Structure 1
Amino acid sequence: MPQPLSRIVDQLKSEPSRTGSLIITVFGDAIVPRGGSVWLGTLLAFFEGLAIDGSVVRTAMSRLTAEGWFERTKSGRNSFYRLTRRGEQTFAGATRHIYDSPPAEWNGSFELLLIGSAEDREQARTVLRDAGFGSPLPGVFVAPSSIAVPDAVEGAIRLQASAGSEMARRLVAESWALERTADAYRKFSASFAPLEASIGRGEALSDAQAFTARILLIHHYRRIVLRDPLLPAELLPRDWPGQQARILCGAIYRLLLPGSERWLDAHATNEEGPLPAAGAALLRRFADAHEAP
């Protein structure tokens, strides 16, 4: 295993167990584009390459199934998993957030939500955060007006507000923990830039290593970008590291895609046999993530 990938694997092993989170990454990145159902043995083969015991994987799958992410079917002694409807909806939103182009421009206005009841605020907090809203004050939630208010949010007073660039940046700084996100992007780039350089020097990866690298790449990037409200550039601090991290992630992803897809072709199965080929949408992931000319 090339040293840069070995270091990334070692970093993963030094963290608290994230087997369930890795399973989520495998499904969202690799299984959903190929029909959404997979044999447990395929997952076990991937985790074996990370020296993660099969019993740990089985326990994580059982927990995720009990939490409503997956549904299980059996054929003889073989178990197969696919996303529940709730899981599909959650994955669809996350997929857009991870792979699609972020907003390019801000129209000059914000959506403000005022929620007076502490109980209503607590119920709405996670939903609004996942939708891209920040909070400068208790009971006040804000997002660029291009962000849709989730249907699940009830009892809020909705206002539209406009602001100049400097005032808008101050509001953004008070509403989101951007420096923490920026630091995470910097660490991501420092961890994965050596892998890009290694591949660029011609250090070959096996198909299994390419799949491992692809999953770990998206696993680390996903954990950052899903906390990032993906604000328009005009609202972000100068020298924001998120765009460079996205360019790096997209470049490595494109390098890893052929080999990792070959691994899936050879090893991944569902109830009917080998997984179907992924559609054209897979090739459009990170389509915007290129260095500026």
Structure 2
Amino acid sequence: MKDISPDWFETCVSQLTNTGTQRVWSVLVTIFGDLAPSGSDQVSGSLITALTSLAGIKSEATRVALHRLRKEGWIESTRVGRTSVHRLTDFGRSQSAAAAPRIYSRETEKPDIWHVLIASSSESSRKELSDLMLIGDYISVNASMAMAPGPVPDGLEDLLGIESSAISVPDWMRDLCGPEPLKDAYSQFWTTLQFVEQHLPAKGMDDLLQTAVLRVLIVHGWRRLILRHPPLPPAFLPEDWKGAECRQSVAQLLDRLPRPSLASLEAVLGD
């Protein structure tokens, strides 16, 4: 394996991991979801350690995170000779597949229909609303009201449901959907993406491990942001929201950092 860590690569990794809130198990979920999403894909322990090491993660932290993912049913591991190979479980693949459209889509979703659910003051009505919010892409308007894209769900009991294609979005709703901390996080990520784009070699990269690491860290940063809120069209967000710019930049960077095959990455380790 080539031991190449030029300053530009280390600097880009530092920029992509400078939030200080990286959870190693979550980074591993991104590695599997981006590089090994299918049922036939399996990743050796050596490759996982090589990738996380280049991302600035210690081997002990990687082992602990792998143990957690096995315990929680995300991955399964098998011994092959003197090493271990890891793959997503059915549950892990289903979770990754559910998130993939939002992560990799190049266009922001623009639902044609929205619905609003309104609860009464009764405990049963509030609980029904709370339960629905756990399984859907709902925006909490207040303690008794929520809204989400799509038609009114079937089987409502104690909730008033209203759906419409004509919705006026006031500034207070934009601020509710795009709160300041999340808006700042998007702006910071946008700045990071611009930095990485400027520092990537103009002629492309020939180091497959570095390509994979930068790609995974970009996808991970984007995934952590885009999954923190329901899919929202621009009309529901503040005017200075950087979500669309981030989406475009992520797509452009992933084009410049094409996904290496697992076979090619494993082969690098054997060189």
Normalised by the size of structure 1, how large is the TM-score? 0.74
Residues 75, 88 of structure 2: 8 Å contact kept: yes
* Distance change (3 Å), C-alpha of 1:104 and 1:6: same
Aligned twin of 2:74: 69
Matched, 1:245 2:242: no
* Distance change (3 Å), C-alpha of 1:178 and 1:205: farther
* Distance change (3 Å), C-alpha of 1:159 and 1:124: closer
- Once residues 6 and 38 of structure 1 are traced to their aligned partners in structure 2, the CA distance between those partners, rounded to angstroms, is 24
* Distance change (3 Å), C-alpha of 1:249 and 1:156: farther
**Partner SS state of residue 232, structure 2:** coil
Matched, 1:196 2:219: no
Aligned twin of 1:35: 40
Matched, 1:157 2:165: no
Deviates more, 1:53-62 or 1:74-83: 74-83
- Once residues 145 and 96 of structure 1 are traced to their aligned partners in structure 2, the CA distance between those partners, rounded to angstroms, is 17
Residues 135, 174 of structure 1: 8 Å contact kept: no
- Once residues 119 and 99 of structure 1 are traced to their aligned partners in structure 2, the CA distance between those partners, rounded to angstroms, is 34
Aligned twin of 2:255: 254
Q: Deviations over 1:176-201 (max 9, x none)?
A: 24443332221111112122122364
User: By how many angstroms is 1:24 displaced?
Assistant: 0.6
Residues 187, 242 of structure 2: 8 Å contact kept: yes
- Once residues 70 and 15 of structure 1 are traced to their aligned partners in structure 2, the CA distance between those partners, rounded to angstroms, is 25
* Distance change (3 Å), C-alpha of 1:71 and 1:119: farther
Q: Report the RMSD for the aligned CA atoms in angstroms.
A: 3.2
The gaps in structure 2 that reach 5 residues or longer are none
Aligned twin of 1:126: 134
- Once residues 204 and 38 of structure 1 are traced to their aligned partners in structure 2, the CA distance between those partners, rounded to angstroms, is 22
Residues 186, 242 of structure 2: 8 Å contact kept: yes
**Partner SS state of residue 68, structure 1:** coil
Q: Deviations over 1:187-221 (max 9, x none)?
A: 11111212212236447562222111111111111
- Once residues 255 and 192 of structure 1 are traced to their aligned partners in structure 2, the CA distance between those partners, rounded to angstroms, is 13
- Once residues 39 and 156 of structure 1 are traced to their aligned partners in structure 2, the CA distance between those partners, rounded to angstroms, is 51
The residue correspondences of 1:258-269 to structure 2 (distance < 5 A) are 260-261=259-260, 264-268=262-266
Residues 114, 147 of structure 2: 8 Å contact kept: yes
Aligned twin of 1:80: 85
Give the AA of the match of 2:135: V
Aligned twin of 2:23: 18
The size of the alignment, in residue pairs, is 259
Normalised by the size of structure 2, how large is the TM-score? 0.80
Matched, 1:143 2:148: yes
- Once residues 126 and 39 of structure 1 are traced to their aligned partners in structure 2, the CA distance between those partners, rounded to angstroms, is 35
**Partner SS state of residue 162, structure 2:** strand
* Distance change (3 Å), C-alpha of 1:158 and 1:23: farther
Moved over 6 A (4+): none
Matched, 1:90 2:95: yes
The residue correspondences of 1:197-236 to structure 2 (distance < 5 A) are 197-199=198-200, 201-202=202-203, 204=205, 206-236=207-237
* Distance change (3 Å), C-alpha of 1:77 and 1:208: closer
User: By how many angstroms is 1:110 displaced?
Assistant: 2.2
- Once residues 80 and 197 of structure 1 are traced to their aligned partners in structure 2, the CA distance between those partners, rounded to angstroms, is 36
Share of identical aligned residues, percent?
A: 25
* Distance change (3 Å), C-alpha of 1:177 and 1:136: same
- Once residues 203 and 72 of structure 1 are traced to their aligned partners in structure 2, the CA distance between those partners, rounded to angstroms, is 34
Aligned twin of 1:56: 61
- Once residues 158 and 265 of structure 1 are traced to their aligned partners in structure 2, the CA distance between those partners, rounded to angstroms, is 54
Residues 72, 79 of structure 1: 8 Å contact kept: yes
* Distance change (3 Å), C-alpha of 1:31 and 1:158: farther
Residues 113, 156 of structure 1: 8 Å contact kept: no
